[in-house]
Amino acid sequence: MKPAVAKAKDKSPLEDLGRATLQVVHDLKNQLNGLKLYATFLRKRLERDNRAPEEQETLVKLIAGLDRAAHEMTALVRYSRPLEVHRQVKVDLRKIIPSSARVTDPRQSGELQRLNLDWKIEDAPFLGEFDQSALTEAFETITEEALSSVPLRDVSQLSLQVSRTGAASSPTALIEWKGLTPKNRTQSLTSFHDHATIHLALAAKIIEAHEGQMEHDATAIRVSLPLSQ
């Protein structure tokens, strides 16, 4: 038996399992959406009847939990499928960075939830062949991951810095999320695909689709992307 043939036969059950899993995830997501409709109806009913605040808060938390579960399932399905990016020439990273530094911290309330990281971009051209929407999603995901790794008392230490590296003939943009807290980072993490949250793994997939790389150590997450000039 040729090794190549054996490998192909071994792969088939895994492919079948993957397809079946995606179908289950799809069905579960539809059920979650249905549950959210019922929960929303009950929440409005409680508000109309002026029921106790704790009863209304229970429904609010239930709906938020259903939203989070559906969000995770959507990311899983997207990650498992081939990723399509629509790159355009001469897209400026300067248009992406500001929104990537603005996030919401779910651990806080009111005005404190809206956080704008301290960010700085080098005074140099940062044009490349990018999918602006996809990169914005990836950068925002990384910012949220960086934020979740830092205790509330250390949030002010986080920063986002962009610099230009490499030779003039092949310049590279280096985007760094600095100020992560070492004791809250997994030192042995070497692959965003194998060990990270599904959202961070999807962000890495987007970066790689732009011929870039994503890595981190205990105190920083770094992304490098090729520039056209």
Q: State whether 57 and 113 are in the same domain.
A: no
With H, G, I as helix, E, B as strand and everything else as coil, classify residue 169: coil
Q: Would you say 212 and 85 are in contact if contact means Cβ atoms under 8 Å apart? A: no
* 186: pLDDT strictly greater than 50: no
Q: Which of 210, 119, 134, 199 is nearest to 172 (CA)?
A: 210
**Across 13-17, 18-22, 81-85, 178-182, least confident range:** 13-17
Predicted local distance difference test score (pLDDT) of residue 56: 85
Predicted pLDDT of residue 216: 84
Of 80, 101, 120, the position where a domain reaches its end is: 80
Q: Residue 18 has what pLDDT?
A: 66
Identify whether residues 24 and 92 lie together within a single domain. Answer: no
Question: Domain range for residue 14?
Answer: 3-80
Burial of 23 by CB count in 10 Å (0-12 exposed, 13-18 middle, 19+ buried)? exposed
CATH number at residue 208: 3.30.565.10
Q: Which residues pair with 178 in a beta bridge?
A: 159, 220
Last residue of a domain, one of 36, 53, 80: 80
Closest Cα to residue 184, out of 215, 219, 160, 158?
Answer: 219
Determine the average pLDDT of the residues in 155-159: 84
Q: 96 and 162: one domain? A: yes
Q: Provide the mean pLDDT of the chain.
A: 81
112 and 208 housed in the same domain: yes
pLDDT band of residue 171 (cuts 50, 70, 90) is very high
Q: Is the pLDDT reported for residue 72 higher than 90? A: no
